[in-house]
Amino acid sequence: MENGSLEERLFRKNNTPPIPWFDRYRIAHELALALIFLHNCKPKPIIHCDLKPANILIDHNFVSKIGDVGLLTTLHSDTYNMTTLFKETSPVGTLCYIDPEYLRTGMVSPKSDVYAFRIVVLQLLTAKPAIALAWTVEMAIDDDRLAQILDAEVGNWSIEETKELAILALRCTELHHGDRCDLKTQILPALDRLKMVADKAHDLATSGRIVPPNHFICPILKTGIRMTGGQ
């Protein structure tokens, strides 16, 4: 993929430029949509089982793609719902991203991907290794010092929205499947709103022009009206 993996970009391998904060919001939104698609596949839902930055690829338009489908698990259930569990006989996934309940019981569900999703989101915000990251972010929020652990290479984070995204990610970390937020009904609506914030920031950062006030916009053509000094 043209822009490598998310891991390569977050940790700036080969001195690649940092990903702007608004693109990180958008990537979180894209990942949520991709997981919802997999989890709602017919006739049988699919669990990725190894979601992590190294398996997220970035194309030339900076659109994220979930890769490494080798560990994908199809749920064998004719009466599937979001709490359905599937017994996986051999360990899959990557340490720090693996659902603790899966490690304890050997059972996977779509909520297993939700657990990994939260680690990826926290890495999008901090560009830090995954180990103990949820605890680090939670303590930073409690101590009102979240800004100190955000990726300093990014520049001007939108702190309030970033805090909201961090708290949203932490809500996906409950140890029991049933206590985790539902990706489609609880997480995605908030990500939709944050993506709108990100899109506006992206437009302002890339437009390179000043938007004229409304009274300088032609109401018919919707284009700027040129003002001259003479009559």
From residue 41, how far is each of 73, 103, 145, 180 by CA, in Å?
A: 12, 25, 40, 21
Choose between 172 and 20: higher pLDDT: 20
Q: What is the pLDDT of residue 1?
A: 66
Q: Is residue 67 pLDDT above 70, yes or no?
A: yes
Q: Does 50 qualify as catalytic in the annotation? A: yes
- Alpha helices per DSSP H over the chain: 6-10, 21-39, 100-105, 110-126, 133-142, 146-149, 159-170, 188-207
Q: What is the pLDDT of residue 106?
A: 79
Q: Is residue 230 pLDDT above 60, yes or no?
A: no
* pLDDT tens sequence across 179-210: 567 889 889 999 999 999 999 998 988 886 44
Each domain of the chain, given as residue ranges in start order, spans 6-216
Choose between 107 and 117: higher pLDDT: 117
> What is the value of pTM for the model shown?
0.80
Choose between 120 and 110: higher pLDDT: 120
- Other beta carbons less than 10 A from residue 131's beta carbon: 11
Please state which architecture CATH assigns to domain 6-216.
Orthogonal Bundle (1.10)
Distance from C-alpha of 116 to C-alpha of 44, rounded to nearest angstrom: 21
- As a dihedral over the C-alpha atoms of residue 185, residue 190, residue 191, residue 193, rounded to 10 degrees, the angle is 130
Per the structure block, which two tokens stand in for 37? Answer: 């698609």
The active-site residue, picked from 23, 50, 99, 113, is 50
Q: What is the pLDDT of residue 224?
A: 47
Residues pairing with 159 in the sheet: none
CA pseudo-torsion sign 36, 121, 12, 209: positive
Q: Is residue 127 pLDDT above 60, yes or no?
A: yes
Q: Is residue 228 pLDDT above 80, yes or no?
A: no
Mean pLDDT for all residues in the chain: 80
* pLDDT tens sequence across 149-160: 999 999 889 999
